[in-house]
Amino acid sequence: MKIAFVGTGVMGKSMAGHLLKAGHEVVVSTRTKAKAEDLLQAGAKWADTPAEACRGAQVAISMVGYPQDVDEVWRGPQGFLTTAAQGCILIDMTTSSPALARELAQAAQARGCAALDGPVSGGDRGAREATLTIMVGGAAPDFEAVKPLFAAMGKTIVLQGGPGTGQLCKLANQIGIASGMIAMSEALAFAHATGLNLETTLQSISGGGASSWALLNLAPRVLKGDFAPGFYVKHFVKDIGLALDVAREQKIQLPGLELAAKLYDQVVAAGQGDLGTQALARRYFELR
């Protein structure tokens, strides 16, 4: 397939790379061309705008930062929908607003195109190793048509329902992660404060009932002092905000998520928004 891919950041670059390796023609567009240099050397083609990338494409994928970025890539003056051909399937893999996903699906349909929301979970490692979890909203025939593309990038691939349901599922995922990050941080802070060896403590608790994705994947980075982003704090704060917006709409209370929002706001206030989400643990130690 000819695929337009916009957004080659921490995760998007690896995802686009897997599509290239699967034999597809990939046309990339980013705000900073240098970020796509590895992909261009691997055989990807360059486009100056999303509209140019989408011209003649069978599939167009966005993997950007914020809902406003998604809207610009799809509906902006140089967006996908200015050039998308009839029958093109547009996929947003950003974690974004469920309401926006529904709007974009309607806009795509009006142009004779299809739309899927397919946010992912698994961080930089999942993107590199093509083991991402992909949560999809949209029509079943469109999902089946591009499922081989999803399979090139991920491992757990599930259609959740109609437009916007992929985003709702991803927000549920982020709610679970938010409390897990607090649990990981507090466990390490407690072990440190009581004089336990952090390496042996982690070995024990990550193999028992307390085991979690955060303990298995992020706690080892914390112990090494590695706070590089597999997933940015600033993007996680965005996700938490989106989830809280939906919670308010549904009139449900999520005190654990509200606590995570408060703690991650402190991380951002400390100037650490560009670090990985495991930076929350460092904040716990600094606050002792």
Q: How much of the chain exceeds pLDDT 90, in percent? A: 94
Residue-averaged pLDDT of the chain: 95
Q: Is the pLDDT of residue 284 over 90?
A: no
Instruction: Give yes or no for a contact between 260 and 179, defined as CB atoms under 8 angstroms apart.
Output: yes
Alpha helices in 194-254 (DSSP H): 198-205, 213, 219-223, 233-250
What local confidence, expressed as pLDDT, does residue 145 receive? Answer: 98
Task: Identify the bridge partners of residue 5 per DSSP, sorted by sequence position.
Answer: 28, 61
Q: Is 170 annotated as catalytic?
A: yes
What local confidence, expressed as pLDDT, does residue 285 receive? Answer: 75
Q: Where are the domains of the chain?
A: 2-161, 168-287
Residue 19 pLDDT level (bands cut at 50, 70, 90): very high
Q: Is the pLDDT of residue 10 over 90?
A: no
Which residue's structure tokens are 């449900």? 252
Query: In this predicted model, what pLDDT tens digit does every residue of 217-243 receive, in sequence order?
Result: 999 999 999 999 988 999 999 999 999
Cβ atoms < 10 Å from Cβ of 253: 9
* Catalytic residue (choose from 170, 224, 234, 251): 170
pTM of the full predicted structure?
A: 0.93
Q: Is the pLDDT of residue 96 over 80?
A: yes
Task: Identify the bridge partners of residue 91 per DSSP, sorted by sequence position.
Answer: 61, 116
Q: Is the pLDDT of residue 258 over 80?
A: yes
Q: CB-based contacts of 193: which residues, under 8 Å, 6+ apart?
A: 288
Q: Kindly state the greatest CA–CA separation across the chain.
A: 64
Residue 286 pLDDT level (bands cut at 50, 70, 90): low
Query: In this predicted model, what pLDDT tens digit does every residue of 103-150 receive, in sequence order?
Result: 999 999 999 999 999 999 998 899 999 999 999 999 999 999 999 999
Q: Does domain 168-287 have CATH number 3.20.130.10?
A: no
CATH architecture for the domain at 2-161: 3-Layer(aba) Sandwich (3.40)
What local confidence, expressed as pLDDT, does residue 288 receive? Answer: 45
Pairing of strands 114-117, 89-92: parallel
Query: Average pLDDT, stretch 23-36?
Result: 93
